[in-house]
Structure 1
Amino acid sequence: MSSATPSTASEYWDRYRPYRGEGAQPRPAAARFEWTDVPGHGPGAEVLGSPGTALDLGPAEGENAAVLAHAGTAVTAVDFSPSQVDRARQFWKDADSLDFVLAEACTFLDNDPRSWDAIYSTWGAVWFTDPDDLFPRIARRLASGGVFAFSHRAPATGEYGAQAMGGPWLEGRQDELTVHRWQYTTDQWSDILKRTGFANVQAQVLRHPEPDRPGTLLVQARTGS
């Protein structure tokens, strides 16, 4: 394996950069909180209520974390890609109450004793971490009555559970590393969350504006009965 080929999942994401033209990349607009891959489509930050504190699992470039921070929420954003964290810190160094942390999600939740009013993931760590490992940890760190919400691309029929994805998914590269994403139907996610102790689960598919493209699956749940 060459030195240019990623050997860990974090290196895989180190190499991912949304294309915005040649040269130095401008920071994202962060005009609103986005759950889907279509700007301005679907609900926004209101899904989380009005949290005083929030934990973003897998923030990538940090747009959503910045939107919340600018609205007054104290946000901790955790990503295990050094390149993603460095880039996000540079993009949002002027944002108060926004802290980007380099860590793997489960390890962070094991080691940080704080609780948060909202924990969320937009096409992030929830999509790429086994829910049997991640969800119990989230439940322990979510404040009483807090909101847990996440989104990912709606899966094709039959593509449920742990799905392997290789390098070609990232800009056509032929990488040897394969990572997995965990994706389910709305009913399957509801069952998994309820087994983990979450309640008031709401799950839906937000259709893409272009009929032939996959939509976004959005899930919201709360602690307590």
Structure 2
Amino acid sequence: MSPEPRTPAQYWDTYKPYRGTGEQPAPEVGRFEWTQYPGHGPGAEVLGRPRRALDLGPAEGREAVFLARQGVATTGVDLSAAQVDRASRWWKDTPGLEFVHAEAVDYLTSNTTPLDAVYSVWGAVWFTDPELLFPLVAQNLTPGGIFAFSQAEPSPGAYGPQPMHGKWLEGRESELTVLRWQYTPQTWADLLKRHGFTDIDAHILPPPGGEGLGTLLVRTHRPV
């Protein structure tokens, strides 16, 4: 295990804080969403037809639940114990689904179960050094397996690891700063190619109506 988390777990423990009263209700699970705009863009077909999938940074777990309901054995790995505990309560009766408290790199380093798909929806891929993460993803995928991830489109000129503060941290922003890795689609493609991935498709999916923040969507394969 790493001596300390690469991203402060406390940052995510209060991610999207619940402002209501009583137990927080589970979110609705409709389609598999890669963007922040419901119903916009492709869905689970990006992952092909996996038998076993890994969600890196699932938070509420909606995408993992969607896959499990389609018969895909799915594991969600999250750095935040609070997020894992909440998702495990919400979806405890979903067959073929489990949530694990671990850092993404550490989990992939110790995992021995081959995976047909590894994905991240605005999740851990955004917040993990790709030089550490990408070779481990390739190592864990079956031949021909799919690696896909989405995140916000990068701000022009703001490339590489960029600091981000949580607006929900109530005065603790200076303590809990995380890094998110942002590159152009071509740079992501070059990084993946250098780590042995093939059939790379990296592009910006514009927001609906052309207004708002676009989504970087990347899909690639481990060679057969």
TM-score range, shorter chain: over 0.9
1:223 is matched with: 222
Answer yes or no: is 1:68 the counterpart of 2:64. no
Query: Would the aligned equivalents of 1:59 and 1:121 in 2 still touch at CA under 8 Å?
Result: yes
Within 1, Cα distance between the matches of 2:120 and 2:19?
23
Structure 2 unaligned segments of length 5 or more: list them: 1-6
Within 1, Cα distance between the matches of 2:18 and 2:155?
25
2:137 is matched with: 138
1:189 is matched with: 188
Within 2, Cα distance between the matches of 1:19 and 1:205?
31
Answer yes or no: is 1:87 the counterpart of 2:86. yes
Which amino acid is 1:175 matched to? E
Within 1, Cα distance between the matches of 2:18 and 2:188?
31
Identity %: 54
Matches within 5 A, 1:32-181: 32-168=31-167, 170=168, 173-176=171-174, 177-181=176-180
Within 2, Cα distance between the matches of 1:188 and 1:199?
14
After the TM superposition, which parts of structure 1 deviate over 6 Å for at least 4 consecutive aligned residues? none
Per-residue deviation at 1:212? 3.5
Within 1, Cα distance between the matches of 2:35 and 2:129?
21
Query: Does the residue aligned with 1:126 lie in a helix, a strand or coil?
Result: helix
Query: Would the aligned equivalents of 2:162 and 2:181 in 1 still touch at CA under 8 Å?
Result: yes
Within 2, Cα distance between the matches of 1:133 and 1:11?
22
Within 2, Cα distance between the matches of 1:171 and 1:186?
31
The CA RMSD measured in Å over matched residues stands at 1.6
TM-score (structure 1 length as normaliser): 0.92
Within 1, Cα distance between the matches of 2:75 and 2:180?
23
Within 2, Cα distance between the matches of 1:18 and 1:197?
39
Q: Call closer, same or farther: CA 1:154–1:20 in 2, change over 3 Å.
A: farther
Within 2, Cα distance between the matches of 1:39 and 1:27?
17
Cα deviation, 1:153-196, whole Å, max 9, x if unaligned, reads 1011111110001233x477552221100011110100000000
Query: Would the aligned equivalents of 1:167 and 1:173 in 2 still touch at CA under 8 Å?
Result: no
Q: Call closer, same or farther: CA 1:94–1:34 in 2, change over 3 Å.
A: same
Query: Would the aligned equivalents of 1:32 and 1:44 in 2 still touch at CA under 8 Å?
Result: yes
Cα deviation, 1:35-94, whole Å, max 9, x if unaligned, reads 001111110000001100001100001000000000000001100100000010011111
Query: Does the residue aligned with 2:127 lie in a helix, a strand or coil?
Result: coil
Per-residue deviation at 1:118? 0.4
Within 2, Cα distance between the matches of 1:95 and 1:212?
37
Within 1, Cα distance between the matches of 2:52 and 2:139?
15
Within 1, Cα distance between the matches of 2:213 and 2:45?
23
1:3 is matched with: none
1:199 is matched with: 198
Cα deviation, 1:17-48, whole Å, max 9, x if unaligned, reads 25574443211111110100111111000000
Which amino acid is 2:139 matched to? R
Within 1, Cα distance between the matches of 2:87 and 2:110?
22
TM-score (structure 2 length as normaliser): 0.92
